[in-house]
Amino acid sequence: MGRRKGGGVGDLLMVLGLMGLVGLVALAGAHGSYPAVGGAANLGLSGGPYRQRERVIRRLETLKASLAAGTAPSPASPITSRSRVYHVIDYGADPTGSTDSGEAIGKAISDAFQAPSDRVLMPGIADLGGAEIHLDGGSYLISSPITLPAAGGGNLKIHSGSLRASDEFPTDRYLIELDSTNSASSGFSYEYVTLDGLMLDSNFRGGGIAVVNSLRTTIDNCYIVHFTSDGIMVRSGHETYIRNSFLGQHITAGNDPDEKDFSGTGINLAGNDNAVTDVVIFSAAIGILVSGQANTLTGVHCYNKATGLGGTGIYLKLPGLTQTRIINCYLDYTGIVSEDPVQLLVSSSFFLGDANVVLKSVNGVINGVIVVDNMFSGSNKGIDIVQLDESKGKFTNIDQVTVQHNVARGMTLRSTVAKASVDGNRSTWTVDFSPMLLFPDRIQHVQYTLLADAACPNHALRNTSGNRVVIESDMTVAASVYVAVDQCVHSIG
Ligand SMILES: *[C@@H]1O[C@H](CO)[C@@H](O)[C@H](O)[C@H]1NC(C)=O
Ligand SMILES: *[C@@H]1O[C@H](CO)[C@@H](O)[C@H](O)[C@H]1NC(C)=O
């Protein structure tokens, strides 16, 4: 039964109705059906106080009609809105942010969770029909997290306003928490919940949004600041889609004098199958931390904290199997680090300010890594575009690694394939590929051509040790030798 009335203003109207409402009704009637709405339309205004007045007047009309019909209004009577949009100010939330609105917002949520039908999404998750928690463009102070009822539900949206943590807000929580941890049924409590058009200010107390073990959650057009832990944290569950949003611990536009002190993580993905799309992270020690599998990051711009100051743009902390795809991102003075990467794609991205990709050995495994078609731009300090961090041990288990087709300006290209040539009138030709190959001392495949003008010597490949290819001929001859090498060949044999 969804036509629960909203309390707050609804109750007030009831009281007014019972105590001399007639005058008010007459006032509304004298101006026609919806005088304020007409005014708003004429002025080209659509939101703000006009909507609120419209709703109040609509309720007065309903009440007037019921009084005229001689039917006494009851809480379940037509006085209640048929709408499933729950306006938090109707519940007494303070849109100016001077008093705590946590309880009022909680009441709006709990009404929205009265399911309108028996329909369900996943088994045990009530279909709330598209109910909305409308923040009415207000800025609300809260002292404890906004949580959803443990009974669960889905097909719901919370939108259009700001939340700010009060000075009493617990530092280990998030402003909004979708947490199915205590779910009784399928293990999931929330499905298809959308958080849209929210500014979340954690007031340097905890984080912005936590999505735990939930299904198909959308976080869209949110601006999340002043977190000390994570802007957004996703754990377990499936398919949290974070898109078109801005996250930063501090509100800055770059070159912040305090950048070295930035801490926290913009987005912490500790679950599988999520997508981060068109998101900017403008301050945090780590932009995006990924410790779940099969996540996709596209259109992400990280300028959260420069690598030189100890920051990381995207940290893939899932040694052994990451299955992460990073495509069309912008790593701005801060790079990508991946531990024991297995199945990783980095492509079509732009790295500025010596930002680079670090492949870090933990147990020495690197397998199925593709870093292609990226642009790197640096400051001529000789920084490699892709680096191996073997401080914890060498990569020993190497297979299917392709780093190629990247371009660099003011940085050193590194690749798993390379081509070069050498000329001379001699019997030994050496091509040193060590300045351009990624792995030290690893050449799995060589192709070469010896082009001699005058003679036809016998010649052979002699040595590839240390990434140096040595070709020898049985006579001194003026020749050019063209060599192509590959460090990782998936052999069919
Ligand atoms: C190459 O070197 C050999 C022996 O040192 C010499 O006889 C020959 O003329 C040289 N060829 C050219 C093209 O310089
Ligand atoms: C290949 O070159 C390395 C380094 O110069 C050398 O130590 C090694 O003995 C060479 N191997 C062969 C087969 O000549």
Residue-wise pLDDT tens digits, 149-169: 999 999 999 999 999 999 999
Measured N-to-C along each axis, helices 49-68 and 9-18 cross at an angle, to the nearest 10 degrees, of 40
Rounded Cα distance, 380 and 55, in Å:
63
Nearest one of 180, 187, 120 to 155, comparing CA atoms:
120
At CB < 8 A and 24+ separation, what contacts does 415-422 make?
416/486, 416/487, 416/488, 417/484, 417/485, 417/486, 417/487, 418/484, 418/485, 419/482, 419/483, 419/484, 419/485, 420/482, 420/483, 421/480, 421/481, 421/482, 421/483, 422/480, 422/481, 422/483
Nearest ligand, CA 453: 1
pLDDT at 40 exceeding the cut of 90: no
Copy the structure tokens of residue 259: 């950048």
Q: Which string of b and e fits 54-88 if b means at least 16 CB within 10 Å?
A: bbbbbbbebbbebeeeeeebeeeebbbbeebbbbb
Centre of ligand 1 from the C-alpha of residue 476, in Å: 7
Q: Decide whether any atom of ligand 1 lies within 6 Å of the 396 Cβ.
A: no
Q: What atom of ligand 2 comes closest to residue 463's alpha carbon?
A: 1
* Rounded Cα distance, 277 and 245, in Å: 8
Ligand that comes closest to the CA of residue 463? 2
Confidence of residue 61 (pLDDT cuts 50, 70, 90): low
Residue nearest to atom 5 of ligand 1 (CA): 476
pLDDT tens-digit readout, 226-252: 999 999 999 999 999 999 999 999 999
Residue 36 has pLDDT above 90, yes or no: no
Contact 453 CB / ligand 1 (< 6 Å): no
Count of residues making up the chain:
493
> Whose atoms come closest to the Cα of 432: which ligand?
2
Phi, psi at 69, each rounded to 5°: -80, -5
Query: At 144, is the pLDDT very low, low, confident or very high (cuts 50, 70, 90)?
Result: very high
More confident residue, 45 or 276: 276
Flag whether pLDDT at 265 surpasses 80.
yes
85-409: CATH topology: Pectate Lyase C-like (2.160.20)
User: Is residue 143 scored above 50 in pLDDT?
Assistant: yes
d(CA 414, CA 57): 69
Per-residue confidence (pLDDT) for residue 243, from 0 to 100: 98
* Cβ of 478 less than 6 Å from ligand 1: yes
Q: Is 465 in the pocket of ligand 2 (CB under 6 A)?
A: yes
Q: Whose CA is nearest to atom 2 of ligand 2?
A: 465
- Residue 12: predicted pLDDT: 41
Check pocket membership of 434 for ligand 2, CB cut-off 6 A.
Answer: no
pLDDT at 187: 81
476 Cβ below 6 A of ligand 1: yes
% the chain with pLDDT above 90: 79
Q: What is the pTM of this model?
A: 0.84
Q: Is the pLDDT of residue 171 over 90?
A: yes
Question: Which pLDDT does position 68 carry in this prediction?
Answer: 64
Gap from CA of 431 to ligand 1 centroid (Å): 21
C-alpha to C-alpha distance for 92 and 238, rounded to whole angstroms:
35
- Nearest CA, atom 13, ligand 2: 463
Q: What is the pLDDT of residues 324-333, one digit of tens each?
A: 999 999 999 9
What is the Å distance from ligand 2's center to 431 Cα? 14
Residues near 316 by Cβ (< 8 Å), separated by ≥ 6? 290, 322, 324, 336, 337, 338, 339, 341, 344
Which pLDDT score, from 0 to 100, does residue 493 have? 62
Task: Place 2 in a pLDDT band, splitting at 50, 70 and 90.
Answer: very low
* Average pLDDT value for residue range 91-107: 98
Q: Which ligand is nearest to the CA of 468?
A: 2
**What is the structure's pLDDT at 180?**
77
pLDDT band at 53 (very low <50, low <70, confident <90, very high): low
For residue range 424-483, list pLDDT tens digits in order.
999 999 999 999 999 999 999 999 999 998 889 999 999 999 999 999 999 999 999 999
Question: What's the CA gap between 360 and 210, in Å, rounded?
Answer: 28
- Given this model, what pLDDT does residue 67 score? 58
